[in-house]
Structure 1
């Protein structure tokens, strides 16, 4: 867990630079998204809003646990209480749990959009605010339960005054068939299975949109309105672009991490020196994964014009307050 960014005592290298540059915008992006979406003034249904807020909250927890509680102390606060073994075990658990919940909420939201577009009979029953709350709660609980075993893969590195410090993987974690199977199942569930589900659901959704658009365009041609711009077809094209953006973003940002995990298992090499190029690849893979914690919210929400208006109003608000005070 604690063997990457900022771990070395040598010169400030590329990995440490990446850590410092990439950690800054995550918290602000998710906090802004949560604040604006929670107001309910973006023209979105309560169901969609609940999913987006849940995704942003899960992503924010990823940032807090993985960036603030892990990466920053590694660079600036080595030796703090965060490096006591039970504490870093809890941080390790939070990292895995929040990541799993974040990924599977993306799947849940994609499935909700699939039902809305492709399943008219199920739409009225499934795509509701109550169902969204139940799904988010279920995903959160299951994600936490699935991440509990990771706590027991760690042990202390050394003991000072009867206090265990730092977290390293137990040697049995790399040799035990049971732990190997557990890690394999975890890697399959996050993110390989989500890859498959998101790709499949988006393909089916896009197919339905294209078929509906062809039928609608044919009807317009028959009514001699084929030369007019149809707002419904334009909206469906935007939906296709949005869905492909989500699929491509999620898969690209996670692909390096998935590939690196496979590489580690094949080569059975789990530690690297700062001079090893693989060390930089490992850091880049971790940062790309962290970047997905804010990209989903940005892609889903920032494409909405009403959200952009709310964001502009939020930026203007403090200046408007100052101007009003000066006028008084």
Structure 2
């Protein structure tokens, strides 16, 4: 099946805003002032870092630098190979950090016996390390997918796909591996985990309401901190993974269609090519949504953001006085 390894995403005038927002998110979460457990905080920092990598390597480097600065270091073959590796790695890290966070919340909500051992700061660090290591190993072959277009004064220039890429069994196996990890596995896995988590939360909430009603505590149900905590958890979980599913689904559908039709080349004016670029843009956009989600669902995160935004203004006022 054809691998749709597009070299980058369409860039917009909002790239700098998205970059700054993700960088600010990493800084805020690193301070640990959002009222979240250390394990959740580490997962969120990992997701924000993966999103930041997508913006840097798949948008800024791949599109802005490559096409608007033709004399950049990307013209050298080693730099081009490194860029290809980092683009693939950043996308997969962004995807699998989201899955790791979703699984952690699934265990915390649905698996009481496993919760105490798994949902810890140490386990979060171990999972993040394993996910990072596996994705690095999966994407290392991308560096060897390209060869220099020409050699001038013993210096390798440009990048082109190596001969036999489409016919080699080894490369075919690698394409299938990346297709599964990027396209076919994440969405069904997230949908399954969210369905199980939602079902468990709804069942537990019904039981808790029934118990309170039987004890005559119906008036206090609206102020039940346990139910409020569950609502906050499910909103945060579903918005993060739900946005990822919605924004990643189009490229997955197109990928399947291309694989079925066995199309191997595209014209820039072709409608399918435009659809692929637009769908990949949506996939990259998912790396820009988490900051907004945190701000909408986490009160303490909003407070830290407000204080951070006020800091330059307060400093200017003090300097004026």
TM-score by length of 2: 0.90
Are 2:194 and 1:217 equivalent residues in the alignment? no
CA contact 2:28–2:304 (8 Å) conserved in 1: yes
Structure 1 stretch displaced more, 109-118 or 229-238: 229-238
1:60 aligns with 2:55: no
Q: State the match for 1:305 in structure 2.
A: 299
Report if aligned partners of 2:105, 2:237 keep a CA contact under 8 Å in 1: no
Secondary structure of residue in 1 paired with 2:12? helix
Choose which of 226, 233, 238 in structure 2 pairs with 1:239. Answer: 233
Q: Within 1, Cα distance between the matches of 2:317 and 2:26?
A: 27
Select which of 178, 184, 189 maps to 1:192: 184
SS in 2 for 1:199: helix
Deviation per CA, 1:249-306: give whole Å up to 9, x if none. Answer: 1112112222333333334434433322223212212211211112234324541010
- Greater mean deviation of Cα atoms: 266-275 or 115-124: 266-275
Q: Is the CA contact 2:51–2:94 (under 8 Å) kept in the aligned structure 1?
A: yes
Secondary structure at the aligned position of 2:308 is classed as: helix
Residue 130 of structure 2 corresponds to residue 168 of structure 1: no
Residue in structure 2 matched with residue 281 of structure 1 by the alignment: 275
Contact 1:22 1:287 in 2 (8 A): no
In the other structure, the counterpart of 2:308 is: 314
- 1: CA distance between counterparts of 2:131 and 2:7? 29
1:42 corresponds to:
34
Post-superposition shift, 1:230?
3.5
Q: Please give the alpha-carbon distance, in whole angstroms, between the structure 1 residues aligned to 2:27 and 2:310.
A: 15
Name the count of aligned residue pairs.
Answer: 316
Residue of structure 1 aligned with 2:147, choices 143, 155, 168 = 155
Q: Deviation digits for residues 24-71 of structure 1, max 9, x if unmatched?
A: 333112101001111111111111111111111122122221112211
Specify every segment of 5 or more residues in structure 2 that has no aligned partner in the other structure, as ranges: none
Paired residue for 1:88?
80
Question: In structure 1, what is the Cα distance between the partners aligned to 2:244 and 2:101?
Answer: 13
Name the residue aligned to 1:75. 67
What SS does the aligned partner of 2:164 have?
Answer: helix
Instruction: Tell me the residue number matched to 1:111.
Output: 103
Q: TM-score, normalised by structure 1?
A: 0.88
Conserved 8 A contact 2:66-2:74: no
Tell whether the 8 Å contact from 1:156 to 1:168 is kept in structure 2 after alignment: yes
In structure 2, relative to structure 1, the CA distance for the partners of 1:278 and 1:166 (3 Å cut) is farther
Does the 8 Å CA contact 1:54/1:136 hold for their aligned counterparts? yes
Looking at structure 2, the residues matched to 160 and 262 of structure 1 have their Cα atoms a distance apart, in angstroms, of: 40
Unaligned residue ranges in structure 1 (runs of 5+): 6-14
Question: Which segment is superposed worse, 280-289 or 205-214?
Answer: 280-289
Once the two structures are overlaid, the 10-residue window that deviates more, 222-231 or 70-79, is 222-231
Which runs of structure 2 are paired with 1:6-17 in the superposition (5 Å)? none
Moved over 4 A (4+): 1-5
Contact 2:146 2:160 survives alignment (8 Å): yes
Cα distance in 2 for partners of 1:77, 1:133 equals 38
